[in-house]
A and B are shown apart, each in its own frame.
Chain A
Amino acid sequence: MLDIKNLNINLNTVYGDATAVRNLSFKLEKGKTLGIVGESGCGKSLTALAVMGLLPENSWSTGEIIFNNKNLLSLNEDKLCKIRGNSIGMIFQEPMTSLNPLHTIGKQIAEPMILHGKVTRSMIKKEVLNLLDMVGIPDPLKRISSFPHELSGGQRQRVMIAMALSCKPEILIADEPTTALDVTIQKQILDLIKDLIDEFGMSMILISHDLGVIANNVQEIIVMYGGVCVEKGYTKKLINNISHPYSQGLFSAIPTLEMQEDSEQRLKTIPGSVPEITEIPKGCTFQGRCEYVSDICVKNSPNSVKISEDHEAYCFNLDKLN
Chain B
Amino acid sequence: MSIFLLKRFFTFIVTLLGASLLTFLSLEILPGDPARVILGIDAPQSAVDALRLQLGLDRPMVDRYFDWLAHLLTGRFGVSYTYNVPVMDLIKHRIGITFPLAILSMLLSVLVALILGIYAASRHNKIGDVSVMGLSQLGISIPNFWLALLLILFFAVNLGWFSSGGFVGWDKGFIKSIQSLILPAISLATVQGAILARFTRSAVLETMREDYVRTARAKGLTRRGTLWKHVLRNAMIPVITIMGLQFANLLAGTIIVEEVFAIPGLGRLILQAISNRDITVVRDVVILLAALVVFINFVVDVLYAVIDPRLKPQDV
Binding site for B on A (CB under 8 A): 52, 54, 77-78, 81-86, 89-90, 92, 94, 97-103, 111-112, 115-116, 147, 149, 160, 163-164
Contact = CB atoms under 8 A, between A and B. Distances in A.
Nearest to A90: B218
B308 A97 contact: no
Given A81-B220, A116-B220, A147-B309, A98 B234 contact: no
A94 B211 contact: yes
A84 B219 contact: yes
Nearest to B231: A100
B309 A102 contact: yes
A103 B308 CA distance: 9
Nearest to B208: A57
A82 B310 contact: no
A129 B233 CA distance: 26
Given A52-B218, A99-B215, A102-B308, 17 more contacts: A52-B217, A54-B218, A77-B222, A78-B222, A82-B220, A84-B219, A86-B220, A92-B214, A98-B212, A98-B214, A100-B212, A100-B234, A101-B309, A115-B221, A149-B310, A163-B215, A163-B219
B218 A85 contact: yes
- 7 shortest A-B CB distances, which residue pairs? A85-B220, A85-B219, A97-B211, A84-B220, A112-B219, A147-B309, A100-B212
B238 to A, nearest CB: 13
A99 B216 CA distance: 9
Contact of B307 (A81, A99, A102): A102
Q: Which of A94, A103, A164 has the most CB of B within 10 A?
A: A103
Q: Is the interface of B mostly helix, strand, loop or mixed?
A: helix
A195 B39 CA distance: 93
B125 to A, nearest CB: 9
A103 B215 CA distance: 13
B234 A54 contact: no
Contacts of A78: 222
A147 B220 contact: no
B191 to A, nearest CB: 30
Given A54-B214, A94-B211, A98-B211, A147 B310 contact: yes
A103 B222 CA distance: 18
B210 interface: yes
Q: Which of B211, B229, B234 has the most CB of A within 10 A?
A: B211
